[in-house]
Structure 1
Amino acid sequence: MRHPLHPALVHFPIATWSLATAGDLASLLWGEPAWRFAGISIVVGTLTALAAMAAGFIELLKVGANSPASRDVNRHMLLMMATWCCYAASLFARLDGTTLTRPDALGIALSATGFVVMCFAGRIGGKLVYEHGIGVRERHGA
């Protein structure tokens, strides 16, 4: 494949997890419709993140160990794994068997923590592209 798949896939978990955290906070005012939306969004984000993480791991293998970007690549990967764990734990905290239930304070806190960690990971992901040129092809000719 000529274009890295990872940048195309990351939009799904980022969007759904962001909406999930907004839904969790909105559920404090609007109740069930908001927390149900948040729960479904976390399910979708957690599943789509697996594909984005797999594609990111393939991109990681292309970065040499001596590359100036390797430290940031590893930080980005670890922070995104922590993000996934926060949202997965939030999901499990709101499940009763296979039924979504109203999240308690822990479920909402895990969602909010996941969002904050994701923001830091995204900043490093941007640095990988815009400062290190990871996943960017040089254009030949104008």
Structure 2
Amino acid sequence: MTHPLHPALVHFPIACWSLATAADIASLRWAEPAWRFAGTLMAIGVVIAIAAMAAGLVELRKIGENTAAMRDANRHLLLAMAAWFLYATSLFLRLKGMSLTQPDALCLAFSVAGFLVLCATGWLGGKLVYVHGLGGQRRRQ
């Protein structure tokens, strides 16, 4: 495959988690429909993020050692894992068996923290593409 898979996959957990955090905040006003939606999106994002991170590891192997791109890629990797951990923890804390329960303040805090880390992760991912030129193909002339 000439097109890297990682950029195609990351949009799904980003969208799911961003909307989950928005729904968590909305649940303070609209209660159950919003927090159930948030929990469902969080679960989808946690699962799809595993595939996105695996594809990212494949791309990581293509970066030269001891380069600025590798340093930024390692930061991106660590932040992505932190975002996954924060959202997975928020999801875990709101589960009772296999059922979602109303999130408490700690669940909401993990969700908001996950979103902030997700923003930093996305910014570094953009830097890898637009500053370091990773993930693209150069045209042959």
Range class of TM-score, shorter chain: over 0.9
Deviations, residues 94-134 of structure 1 (Å, cap 9, x unaligned): 00011000000000100000000000111010000000001
How much has 1:140 moved relative to structure 2?
Answer: 1.6
Counterparts of 2:111 and 2:59, CA distance in 1: 27
Q: Does 1:59 align with 2:59?
A: yes
Counterparts of 1:66 and 1:139, CA distance in 2: 26
Counterparts of 1:65 and 1:98, CA distance in 2: 43
CA RMSD of aligned residues (A): 0.6
**Which amino acid is 1:41 matched to?**
L
How many residues in Structure 1 have an aligned counterpart in Structure 2? 141
Moved over 2 A (4+): none
Give the corresponding residue for 1:46.
46
How much has 1:68 moved relative to structure 2?
Answer: 2.5
**Which amino acid is 1:126 matched to?**
G
Give the corresponding residue for 1:32.
32
How much has 1:21 moved relative to structure 2?
Answer: 0.1
Give the corresponding residue for 1:115.
115
How much has 1:66 moved relative to structure 2?
Answer: 2.6
Deviations, residues 53-75 of structure 1 (Å, cap 9, x unaligned): 00001000111213320100000
Q: Does 1:81 align with 2:77?
A: no
**Which amino acid is 2:128 matched to?**
L
Counterparts of 2:121 and 2:37, CA distance in 1: 24
Give the corresponding residue for 1:124.
124
Unmatched runs of 5 consecutive residues or more in structure 1: none
Alignment of 1:129-140 (within 5 A): 129-140=129-140
Q: Percent identity?
A: 62
Unmatched runs of 5 consecutive residues or more in structure 2: none
Higher mean displacement: 38-47 or 65-74: 65-74
Deviations, residues 14-38 of structure 1 (Å, cap 9, x unaligned): 0000000000000000000000000
Counterparts of 2:71 and 2:28, CA distance in 1: 39
Counterparts of 2:65 and 2:103, CA distance in 1: 42
